[in-house]
Amino acid sequence: MRLEQREAYNARRDHMSYPPIPDATEFQNQRPPYDREPVTVHGWQWSTTFGKWSALVTFKNGWRGFTYPDHAEKHDGARYIVGVTIGRKDRDSGQYQVQAWDQHGKRWPDADYFTDDREDAHATADAMIMDSLAQQQGA
């Protein structure tokens, strides 16, 4: 099992398989006393079952295991694209799918883009990130 570290993974520009690891400080904890802040975040792993990042954490109550970020954290309500993945060319439709991910590590299906041109898919992915950065700086 390989665990990714957030800063190192998000700093790489060559990852197009998964979205960036979310900036989470609170996690789901289903065991008493239900503290959401972990003592230690050991690393992150992509959950192929649920299609999102999970973290190996240790809570104050001693429980250690994989859990997901608590998306009930407060945020300003704005949603930005921070990651883009380009799927393989579909055999049936002959199209590439560009998928968008927000700053909370959640898929944003409304922003998906389909094209039959690989270069167009990459150019669109770059444009989505640049537009999102411009939107964040203007906010």
User: 4-13, 54-63, 67-76 — which is least confidently predicted?
Assistant: 67-76
| Residue that terminates a domain, selected from 16, 32, 67 | 67
How does the average pLDDT of the chain come out, rounded?
A: 79
Residues 6+ apart with CB under 8 A from 106: 52, 71
Domain count, the chain: 2
Instruction: Assess if residue 1 is contained within a domain.
Output: no
| Residue that terminates a domain, selected from 42, 67, 92 | 67
Instruction: Assess if residue 62 is contained within a domain.
Output: yes
Instruction: Assess if residue 76 is contained within a domain.
Output: no
133, 83 Cβ separation under 8 angstroms: no
Q: Are residues 86 and 63 in the same domain?
A: no
- Where in the sequence is the domain holding 36, given as residue range(s)? 6-67
pLDDT in tens, 17-30: 677 888 888 887 76
pLDDT in tens, 29-61: 767 666 778 889 999 988 877 778 889 999 888
**How far does CA 9 lie from the centroid of its chain?**
11
Report the distance separating Cα 82 and Cα 80, nearest Å: 6
Instruction: Assess if residue 118 is contained within a domain.
Output: yes
